[in-house]
Structure formats: structure tokens, C-alpha cells
Amino acid sequence: MAEVNLMQHYPAGKGRAADRPAITAEDQRISKQFGRDYFDGDRRHGYGGFNYHPRFWTDTVRNMRDHYQLPEHAAVLDIGCAKGFMLHDFQLLMPQARLAGIDVSRYAIENALDAVKPFLQVGNAKALPFPDQSFDLVVAINTIHNLPYAECKQSLREMQRVSRKHAFVMVDAFRNEAQRQAMLRWVLTAETMLSTSDWQKLFAEAGYTGDYTWWTVE
């Protein structure tokens, strides 16, 4: 288990909380449905248009392949795959790989990129529909913190169970009070918001031995 930043190319939270209009309970309720409103609706309820940008993913998947020295036939699972952007770039980089994606959002899966749609399914991170040790790499980017604490722990156990080698999570986290306050102004969907040290405790309690990095807001 190690902190490793493979996500330098993923959009950062720096300077973003100040731009966000004040969040209401109704905004959170709508966002947490992970439907059209969250991905492609008003900015108040999520992304305000969730579109494929190779600059976020092409070098990110190369980082993952190189860091974990994935063989060309590697099996890779993306939990919270949304419209399949990361898997799309894995497919370009490693055409022989066996790819799978799962997301709780039927809207995202139905609106996924055509090239990867056949590998995607609707499902929940807390109960992965895969046998033990199915994947060489299991990834969950900004997904598992959307579950309440006990289920979030369960999702880490699930990642551990279906991985035969590597796992990598990115989660909303804060290092100090200023970051916690900024996070509270920013977060629409997270149910489990922890300090970096509390996340590390949760990883250990769940028996998660994979790697991790933090998504912070400043």
C-alpha cells in the first residue's frame, strides 16, 4: 500500500471551490442520482457537460501501465467508469487488454463512448459482479467516497477481492482545516469525506493493500 500520484493529468481541485455557487441540499439530492443532471445538466448539479478530453486520460493510462508494468494482455477494471473515457484510452494504448467497467449510473453507461460500451455494465462498487482475483489492475477514480462509510469500506474489500495484483484509488480528502472547509463548499456527492490519515486507517481496516492518491480542493 503506497501513496502514488499517477493522476497529474486529471483535473485538479485547486482554486475551484471559490467558483462554485453555494451548494444546497436540493443540489446534492439531484447530483446523487448520477443521472443526466449530474453529467450533462446544469453546473450546479455536477459536471455541466461530461465530455471526453484525451489530455486527461492518455498520459494517465500510460502512467498506470508503466508504473504497474502491465503486460499487453492485462485485465483492467474501472470502477465508476462513467462514460468509459479512461477505458477508451486503455484500449488505444493496450489493444489486447481485457477491459471492464462498472458504474452505478445507467445514464452514463448508456451514453458511453461506442468503442468501449460492450465492456461496461451498470453495477455498484460495494458488490462487484466478478470472481475473486479477476483483474491485474483495479482502478476507482473519485468513486468510492460516494458511498457511506461502511459501504465505502466494503467497496475497498471488493477491490481487494477482485484484484490479483494491483489496485489504485483516488478519493476526496483533506490535509488540514482549510482544505476541509473548501471541500465542504465543493462536494456534491461524497458521503465519506476524510482526512488523508483517516483514509489510510480505513484502507488498513478494510485490508486494502493497493495504492492511493488524493483529490483535494483548495
For ligand SAM (CB under 6 A), the number of binding residues is 16
- In whole angstroms, the minimum distance from the beta carbon of 109 to ligand SAM comes to 9
Which of residues 27, 75, 77, 80 is near ligand SAM by CB under 6 A?
Answer: 80
User: Nearest CA to 144 among 214, 42, 44?
Assistant: 214
Integer Cα distance of 218 and 205 in angstroms: 28
Q: Compute φ and ψ for 77, nearest 5 degrees.
A: -115, 130
First to last CA, the chain: 26
Q: Which of 75, 125 has the CB closer to ligand SAM?
A: 125
103 touching ligand SAM, by CB under 6 A = yes
Among 30, 75, 116, 125, binds ligand SAM (CB under 6 A): 125
Nearest to 168 by CA among 87, 74, 77: 77
Listed ranges 111-119, 129-137, 142-150, 159-167: which one lies at the site for ligand SAM (CB under 6 A): 142-150
Contact 67, 6 (CB under 8 A): yes
Rounded to a whole number of angstroms, the minimum distance from the CB of residue 159 to ligand SAM is: 11
Evaluate whether 65 touches 93 at the Cβ level (below 8 Å). yes
Task: Please pick, from the candidates 146, 179, 213, 216, the single residue that binds ligand SAM as defined by CB under 6 A.
Answer: 146
- Give the residues lining the site for ligand SAM (CB under 6 A): 34, 79-80, 82, 103-105, 108, 124-126, 141-143, 146-147
